[in-house]
Chains A and B, each alone.
Chain A
Amino acid sequence: ETGVTQSPTHLIKTRGQQVTLRCSSQSGHNTVSWYQQALGQGPQFIFQYYREEENGRGNFPPRFSGLQFPNYSSELNVNALELDDSALYLCASSSDPQVTDTQYFGPGTRLTVL
């Protein structure tokens, strides 16, 4: 059973650019949640995808968007990057969108915006 993987590991972008982060969910999992974790803070919920549909969204602007593919892998896209977007981006997969289902986190993508 493969775990949650994310790519790339690290990324450096400049303000105004666009970025795409990728996540492969754990085998058998159909739900992917994305979080942003700034330094010294806890993860903040961005959105969740369940069976290719957005299933809940946190307080993030529309320039944060996502996709989920038929194999349940997912992408997080961020347009018009700002300095404050610098953070660790985590995806977590689960076998059910219910909050009580265990989420398994990937290793994260460290994004630096200059």
Chain B
Amino acid sequence: QKEVEQNSGPLSVPEGAIASLNCTYSDRGSQSFFWYRQYSGKSPELIMSIYSNGDKEDGRFTAQLNKASQYVSLLIRDSQPSDSATYLCAAPNMEYGNKLVFGAGTILRVKS
């Protein structure tokens, strides 16, 4: 079983819609979770981190964490074409000394 799983997509949404990105993780001991955005040909950029169950909002982005279900999601409100990118979910894994393990990423396409 992969440590962090994401639907590869692509997820296509119209401009102005809400994009919902999902991620599941296997290490029940994980306490912190991260969402990175990666534009084609560029390096990942951190956009959100979340440590507690519930929602965390930052501008148009909301991260949601449910530790009981081992599930993390990222909502992007009022999606813009500039949000088109690959979104990577990451969580620490004890097998690697509590270092970050990334999912394969979900490709998001926002159509204008």
Contact = CB atoms under 8 A, between A and B. Distances in A.
Interface in A54-93: 55-59, 90
Given A42-B88, A42-B105, A43-B88, A103 B43 contact: no
Contacts, number: 57
B43 A106 contact: yes
Interface stretch (B54-62, B71-79, B90-98): B90-98
Nearest to A40: B104
Interface string B19-51: 000000000000010000000001111100101
B96 A100 contact: no
B111 interface: no
Contacts of B45: 105
Interface residues of B, number: 24
B78 to A, nearest CB: 25
A99 B6 CA distance: 20
A13 B98 CA distance: 33
A90 B43 contact: yes
A42 B103 contact: yes
Interface in A1-28: none
B6 to A, nearest CB: 8
Interface string B97-112: 1111111110000000
Contacts of A33: 99-100
Instruction: Identify the 6 closest CB pairs spanning chains A and B, nearest first.
Output: A42-B102, A56-B97, A105-B43, A99-B92, A56-B99, A43-B102
Interface of B: 4, 6, 8, 32, 42-46, 49, 51, 88, 90, 92, 96-105
